[in-house]
Chain A
Amino acid sequence: MTESPATKPANGEVVGRHARNGLRPDRNGFLKSLHRCHEWPPKKNRGQQQDEEEAQTTSHDGSLYNRPFIESFEETPMLVAVLTYMGYGILTIFGYLRDFLRHWKIEKCHIAREKEEQKDFVPLYQDFENFYTRNLYMRIRDNWNRPICSVPGAKMDLMERVSPDYNWTFKHTGRAVKDVINLGSYNYLGFAENTGLCADAAAKVTMTYGVGVASTRQEIGNLDRHEEMEKLVAKFLGVEAAMAFGMGFATNSMNIPALTGKGCLILSDELNHASLVLGARLSGSTIRVFKHNNMQSLEKLLREAIVHGQPRTHRPWKKILIVVEGIYSMEGSIVRLPEVVALKKRYRAYLYLDEAHSIGALGQRGRGVVDYFGLDPCDVDVLMGTFTKSFGAAGGYIAGKRELIEYLRSHSHSAVYATSMSPPVVEQIITSMKCIMGEDGTTIGSDRVRQLAENTVYFRTRLQEMGFIIYGNDDSPVVPMMLYMPAKIGAFGREMLKRNIGVVVVGFPATPIIESRARFCISAAHSKDMLDRALSAISEVGNLLQLKYSRHRKQPSVTRPFDDNVYEDIDD
């Protein structure tokens, strides 16, 4: 999260993740604006609505949505917010105390610090992120980067480690913590396995093709498996062409610069992943950020962009690219794709959809968020996704029109310079994708997609019934559960591991400072029994740590009338 002048946009705009630092003052306003957006006409009883506490936003419309779109972001209870800030305050005071002791050499400093011979240089370790790492993160570091020693499937083995000096160093005891239920891997369809169809196919290909050719696709690294995979990806997505890259992050960060440049405008969701933010910055285009999943904010920016054109010259923008993600991995929300597509068509913008989390995990046929909303994949100009998550492999793809792919093949940095993908990885993708498509003659793939949807609904419903605050869409397999207080981040991870469940806990800088959370990723490989064990442990720990903050117990969702011309009113 450090920002050097080089990465800062020249016109001083707030870009991407930086909008998230600290508390978002518009959190409550955001809820209300969404709420208002679906109630028409909004001019009446505005005052009453402002007072009303609305946790659930629902939109239901026959023409845009084929199923209720329920997304909830319950407000942080005031008392919890105050106590959270107080906790951070106390920890900050102790952080300063420790820094003071380190400065006067009373205590040994374990972490990187300014060198003596670089005393008069620009300080490297003085900003808030470094303070945070040194004095807050270090204390609960045992909850992250836990080494594993098995396949990260539904269950995994962890290497036991102890820290003699409060997490500054770790020692392995040589023992393994066996059969930990894995609620942390993005293994949505359970293809991360070392036995079965995919593993056998990958092993066979390793024997014939080896593990890599150490050359780029454009030189001598192009294999028939690569060609086959790209054809398969295009067929899977229902588009004309696709191309694959060896690295998912680079797919975003290197292809956006190939698509847009100076004089173009990128409209980016405020919670977009770092790779999209990096790509947008590298492109040199102007970046404007709209509020998370807020279509009014997006439309306002689109209108302004079209009316005013480029700053100073007022020439029209060369291209306007809307960049959204399918599932936002920190909030568990699903993009309002039908509305984005409608806006994109109305204002003639281009749409870049990052399906990193949603491909395979959403939709009746596992085709991602496009399939989930029953849209035509050709409506999305650039479909991007990764093979890392649902397919249990590595890399990313871009799919779309043939001209787009041919252009990218010659212009994208990661296509030109990157080494071609390893054949076993390619084979894993081909096999798992064929499995999802049902081309292997079994129903394993479609069963897994259905199982994932069932698991997700079950897990989310149970957590909501227990009274936890859960963010995101009801159908999203990423389930963020709010913890808020800094000590509870550490305590939750440790208590869950004691009960043999591995969870991911997330705090600043990945989230705003008070919205620390635990993030569960549901997999099709989780059996009902595993989920029940996990849920009972979560409930137990939730009681122990007093995490059941929710004031809205699960209740039947209210569907509201939705009017097509809500976009007309964007003035307020």
Chain B
Amino acid sequence: MNFKNMREYLAWLYYQYLLITGIYVLEPWEKSIFNSIFFSAIAMVIYTSYVFVPIHVRLALEFFSGIFGSQPESTVALMN
């Protein structure tokens, strides 16, 4: 498919989304219900990942560095 502009491409993408999810055949109010639920779920996923993923990554880093990293280089050296 060749598109003249971005707008046309987005319209085509939305059409594919309608067809694949099957909401192409629904009535407009049903479409809007589906869209609002679907997109709010996606928005929530994105928001939660924005909020919590950095925390989890930091915790994970600390945990793994606790296991593999930050050990003294040699216990023998300490005794001396």
A residues near B (Cβ < 8 Å) are: 83, 86-88, 90-91, 94, 97, 136, 139-140, 166, 485-488, 490-491, 543-546
Contacts and interface: CB of A to CB of B under 8 A. Distances in A.
A94 B24 contact: no
Given A543-B1, A546-B16, A487 B25 contact: yes
Given A94-B34, A543-B1, A87 B26 contact: no
A495 to B, nearest CB: 11
B25 to A, nearest CB: 4
A87 B20 contact: yes
Interface of B: 1, 12, 15-16, 18-27, 30, 34
Q: Which 10 A-B pairs have the closest CB atoms?
A: A87-B22, A487-B24, A139-B25, A487-B22, A487-B19, A91-B22, A90-B22, A486-B22, A490-B25, A83-B20
B19 A545 contact: yes
B39 to A, nearest CB: 14
Nearest to A91: B22
23 contacts: A83-B20, A86-B21, A88-B22, A90-B22, A90-B23, A90-B34, A94-B23, A94-B26, A94-B30, A94-B34, A139-B25, A485-B22, A486-B22, A487-B18, A487-B20, A487-B22, A487-B24, A487-B25, A488-B19, A490-B24, A491-B19, A544-B1, A544-B12
B4 to A, nearest CB: 15
B34 A485 contact: no
Nearest to A494: B24
Contact of B19 (A94, A140, A485): A485
Given A139-B26, A166-B27, A546-B16, A90 B1 contact: no
A487 to B, nearest CB: 4
A490 B30 CA distance: 17
Which of A87, A97, A545 is packed against the most chain B CB atoms within 10 Å? A87
Nearest to A98: B30
Contacts of B16: 546
Contacts of A97: 30
A169 to B, nearest CB: 15
Nearest to A97: B30
Given A94-B34, A543-B1, A546-B16, A87 B27 contact: no
A136 to B, nearest CB: 8
B31 to A, nearest CB: 10
Given A487-B25, A488-B19, 17 more contacts: A87-B22, A90-B21, A91-B22, A91-B25, A91-B26, A94-B23, A94-B30, A94-B34, A97-B30, A136-B25, A139-B26, A166-B27, A485-B20, A544-B1, A544-B12, A544-B15, A546-B16
Contacts of B12: 544
Contacts of B22: 86-88, 90-91, 485-487
A544 B2 CA distance: 11
A427 to B, nearest CB: 45
Contacts of A91: 22, 25-26
B68 to A, nearest CB: 39
A487 B30 CA distance: 14
A491 B24 contact: yes
A486 B25 contact: yes
Contacts of A140: 25
Given A90-B34, A94-B34, A487 B27 contact: no
Contacts of B23: 90, 94, 487
Which of A487, A544, A546 is packed against the most chain B CB atoms within 10 Å? A487
A302 B33 CA distance: 56
Contacts of A166: 27
A32 to B, nearest CB: 29
A487 B22 CA distance: 5
A88 B30 CA distance: 15
Contacts of B18: 487
Nearest to B15: A544
A97 B34 CA distance: 12
A527 B34 CA distance: 45
A545 B25 CA distance: 14
A118 to B, nearest CB: 30
A546 B12 CA distance: 11
Contacts of A487: 18-25
Contacts of A488: 19
Contacts of B19: 485, 487-488, 491, 545-546
B5 to A, nearest CB: 17
Contacts of B21: 86-87, 90, 487
Which of B25, B26, B30 is packed against the most chain A CB atoms within 10 Å? B25
Contacts of A139: 25-26
A87 B56 CA distance: 34
A544 B1 CA distance: 8
